[in-house]
Structure 1
Amino acid sequence: MAAKPSVPKGTRDFGPIEVSKRNYIIETIKSNFKKYGFQPIETPSFENYETLMGKYGEEGDRLIFKILNSGDYLSKVPEDQYVKRDSNQLIPFISEKALRYDLTVPFARYVVQHQNEIDFPFKRYQIQPVWRADRPQKGRFREFFQCDADVVGSNSLWQEVEFIQLYDDVFSSLGLEGCTIKINNRKILSGIAEIMGAQDKLIDFTVALDKLDKIGKEKVEAEMLSKGIGSQSIEKLTPLFNLSGDFSDKLDQLRKLLSISEIGIQGVNELAFIDGAFEKLNLKSSKLVLDVTLARGLNYYTGAIFEVSAPEGVQLGSIGGGGRYDDLTGIFGLKDLSGIGISFGLDRIYLAIEQLDIFPITVTETTKVLFVNFGQKEAMKAMQAISLMRSNGISSELFPDDKKPNKQLAYADKRNIPYVILLGDEELKAGKYTLKIMKTGEQQTLTIEELIKVLK
């Protein structure tokens, strides 16, 4: 007996209803991207191995899916490497490509490769799948879509302000009111590391701190100790966990804590600019919060960093995130090109809307009208009417087989088709159509012109 087919762990099939709901989210995000002046691009699903490796930190690099070379991929492995049986040492010999881990590094590669065709500042959006060899769990998959917007070629802080507005507009459009947009600045984290005497451990510090909401304070401190950050240094973090008050209050406290750190004060000033802008610019439904423990573990961030939490009552991780990167294109040879970008987590946004039960009913409607099939002659007349209705923008279809009408009505009911049209002998003689509203059972007999007018 053949084994039951399955999909790889961390991947999923999507049925018609799920695809319709996902498309609703994508179209909502895309329409807001366009409204803000972003232009679409697409990049390949896989990149050269060296394009991706070394850009995400040690942990991120481990999660990159490598693609084996075609043909006899072991033929190029030196004998001395082969006998060691060390997979990490073998990878450069057997894999030249890898599935993209995110859309940001491929975007940086795109900018460098096409720099002579681009007008800067360049505002791009990209909605495509990415892959991570992560442990699958609720809201975390190995294959998932990212919906990214980035601007490169400007270091203006107005970009940060605009991205916060974009987050707010998208989540308001989706009905996700009460989202929390958390913001911090990597320069502040650099200043904290400086005060701790752990400047040389900045990456280890931020990677550990980024796990605070997942593993808790004690385990974060234990990880820092294991990375060589001393207990006395860690004690200097305590004031950070006790910051209180609103955005400006926390900035005042940070100014005192970071007074001897030039880069730390620079980060505080950048956040103060953003806070000042939102004294006059109102957010529709989101809250902007300064979270000094927000780190985001990716190495390429250098300035403001963002993370968005779903509304209260939704048990999920972040549904969006991003930040500023001052020299990401520099890794590909194009220096001093500042950029900033944010990402929307499609899969988690889907789960949040599902948990709150706020998908519009119309999202899953595909066919508006089903014509019942009474036989060859009636079906021919129905097809003529269907062509006319489709040309008027009304989604219509004919049940393909002349089964019992009750079975055809049951099919329409299961598919949530709101209207059914009956075209039998009586209707043919009268030159009219009987329209049945499935929800109420109400029926009315109409001409084709009246039918189109009612359904439009």
Structure 2
Amino acid sequence: MMQKPSIPKGTRDFSPEEMAKRNYIFDTIREVYKLYGFRQIETPSMENLSTLMGKYGEEGDKLLFKILNSGDVLADFSAEELLEKNSLKFASKACEKGLRYDLTVPFARYVVMHRNEISFPFKRFQIQPVWRADRPQKGRYREFFQCDADIVGSDSLINEVELLQIADTVFTRFGIRVSIKLNNRKILTGMAEIIGQPDKIVDITVAIDKLDKIGLEKVNEELASKGIPQDAIAKLQPIILLQGTNREKLDTLKSVLKDSETGLKGVEELEFIVNTLALTPLKSELEIDLTLARGLSYYTGAIIEVKALDVQIGSITGGGRYDNLTGIFGLPNVSGVGISFGADRIFDVLNQLDLYPKDSMAGTQILFVNFGEKETAYILPQIARLRQAGIATEIYPENAKMKKQMSYADSNKIPYVAIVGEDEMSEGKITLKNMDSGEQQKVTIEECLNLLG
């Protein structure tokens, strides 16, 4: 029996209509990035595992897709090693490469390798797929596109301000109502310090980052399971659940974190960003959210996350500052900050809210019916003129029945069909049929150009 074709879970095929929608997303984001002075690069789909491992925390490392070395991999293993059936040990020896988990770490690697060719600050954007060995669920895929913008070589918080403005501009153009959430890793560090658990900063941030998903009780249980005392957990509660306006939150944090130099530095950075954005207010809601941690171990300053307000889905954009990332690759003291749009989740949000503009779905504008060789010889120069004018034009490739050709135009949502027979050729015209209204009129090629142009 022939095997039924399928694709891996967590991946998707995209039809021409869906690709038109995706290209609308990519083009919109690309235009905004260019508006802010970013330039595009690309990096390979696969990286050396040594580049990827250890950059995303323990949980992230588990989600890396590893690529089996080519050739006779088993020849490098002894019989004893194979009998151990130790999958982690096997992978470490049998896999030297992996699919990229995100675009930020490969970008850091790119900066280090090309540091003599680029000038700082370096503003780049990158639109490419990434892969994660995650459990597929609604809004979470194993293969998905990211649309990143990063600035390296500058400590200025103006960069954070502009990235937030970029997010606001993109979602305003899409017509998606969002909440832009903002935090600072230094504040999280300060929280750990004031409760007497500075060495538990990773455990604390990983746990509180799940507040929206699992609730306060489960977060507290996870904190306790990591060895954090109940009195320390109790001290965290008013900070985690802090309410009020952004200004009220900042004022409260200044008081709560008064004994943490690092924490106060984080508050100062947040205050600068909020005050600077007030000069040209965002159209979207901006909220300081102290539960925002984003789990990734390389964030050192601002943390950014964007959530759609009208659709139940996870984060659709995220980012932050990662001062020490390039140091891992031998280039210390290069500060970086970036943002990443989750194109696949944005695709789902736009679909659910039906926010795609009609012109983003436009394809072929006019189809010429094929009656045979003589007619084809007459219309090919006309088709060339239309295409030169930027009008998407097709000719049906075969001399098929009229019904079949009309059906093709209808199924592909082509708005106009051009019919050229003996009468039209003798008059130097074409019969143009509007597929929506059914109306037909004889026009010259110039009149056709004016009508469709």
Q: TM-score range by the shorter chain?
A: over 0.9
* 2:171 counterpart of 1:174: no
Deviation (angstroms), 1:213: 1.1
Deviation (angstroms), 1:79: 4.9
Q: Name the SS of the counterpart of 2:451 in structure 1.
A: helix
Within 5 Å, which residues of 2 pair with 1:91-170? 91-170=91-170
Within 5 Å, which residues of 2 pair with 1:1-20? 1-20=1-20
Deviation (angstroms), 1:314: 0.9
**C-alpha distance in structure 2 between counterparts of 1:219 and 1:247, whole Å:** 27
Deviations 1:1-49 (A, max 9, x none): 2110100111111110111110110011011111111111111101111
* 2:401 counterpart of 1:378: no
Residue 393 (structure 1) aligns with: 390
Within 5 Å, which residues of 2 pair with 1:77-92? 77-92=77-92
TM-score (norm 1): 0.97
Q: What residue identity is the alignment partner of 2:442?
A: T
Deviation (angstroms), 1:248: 0.6
Residue 454 (structure 1) aligns with: 451
Deviation (angstroms), 1:84: 2.2
Residue 367 (structure 1) aligns with: 364
Residue 257 (structure 2) aligns with: 258
**C-alpha distance in structure 2 between counterparts of 1:191 and 1:100, whole Å:** 32
**C-alpha distance in structure 1 between counterparts of 2:185 and 2:327, whole Å:** 18
**C-alpha distance in structure 2 between counterparts of 1:318 and 1:36, whole Å:** 23
Aligned counterpart in structure 2 of residue 309 of structure 1, from 294, 307, 310:
307
Deviation (angstroms), 1:74: 2.1
Q: Name the SS of the counterpart of 2:436 in structure 1.
A: coil
Q: Name the SS of the counterpart of 1:294 in structure 2.
A: coil
Relative to 1, partners in 2 of residues 1:226 and 1:81: Cα closer, same or farther, differing over 3 Å?
farther
Residue 325 (structure 2) aligns with: 328
**C-alpha distance in structure 2 between counterparts of 1:235 and 1:298, whole Å:** 25
Deviations 1:239-285 (A, max 9, x none): 124322211111111111111111111100100111111221122x3
Deviation (angstroms), 1:302: 0.3
Residue 358 (structure 1) aligns with: 355
Aligned length: 453
Deviations 1:119-143 (A, max 9, x none): 0000000111100000001111001
Within 5 Å, which residues of 2 pair with 1:46-65? 46-65=46-65
Please report the RMSD computed on the Cα atoms of aligned residues, expressed in angstroms: 1.2
**C-alpha distance in structure 1 between counterparts of 2:438 and 2:11, whole Å:** 41
Unaligned runs of 5+ in 1: none
Deviates more, 1:77-86 or 1:33-42: 77-86
Q: What residue identity is the alignment partner of 1:293?
A: T
* 2:204 counterpart of 1:219: no
Q: Name the SS of the counterpart of 1:130 in structure 2.
A: strand
Deviations 1:326-385 (A, max 9, x none): 110000111111100000000000111111101011222211100112222222212221
Deviates more, 1:144-153 or 1:251-260: 251-260
Deviation (angstroms), 1:425: 1.9
Residue 291 (structure 1) aligns with: 289
* 2:401 counterpart of 1:414: no
Q: Name the SS of the counterpart of 1:314 in structure 2.
A: coil
**C-alpha distance in structure 2 between counterparts of 1:108 and 1:242, whole Å:** 35
Deviation (angstroms), 1:92: 1.9
Residue 68 (structure 1) aligns with: 68
Within 5 Å, which residues of 2 pair with 1:236-255? 236-255=235-254
Q: Which runs of 4+ in 1 moved over 6 A?
A: none
Residue 281 (structure 1) aligns with: 280
* 2:232 counterpart of 1:233: yes
**C-alpha distance in structure 2 between counterparts of 1:422 and 1:275, whole Å:** 61
Q: What residue identity is the alignment partner of 1:273?
A: F
Residue 430 (structure 1) aligns with: 427
Q: Name the SS of the counterpart of 2:381 in structure 1.
A: helix
Deviation (angstroms), 1:80: 4.6
Deviates more, 1:387-396 or 1:127-136: 387-396
Within 5 Å, which residues of 2 pair with 1:26-37? 26-37=26-37
Q: What residue identity is the alignment partner of 2:180?
A: I
Q: Name the SS of the counterpart of 1:75 in structure 2.
A: helix
Deviation (angstroms), 1:78: 4.7
TM-score (norm 2): 0.98
**C-alpha distance in structure 2 between counterparts of 1:328 and 1:241, whole Å:** 27
**C-alpha distance in structure 2 between counterparts of 1:105 and 1:402, whole Å:** 55
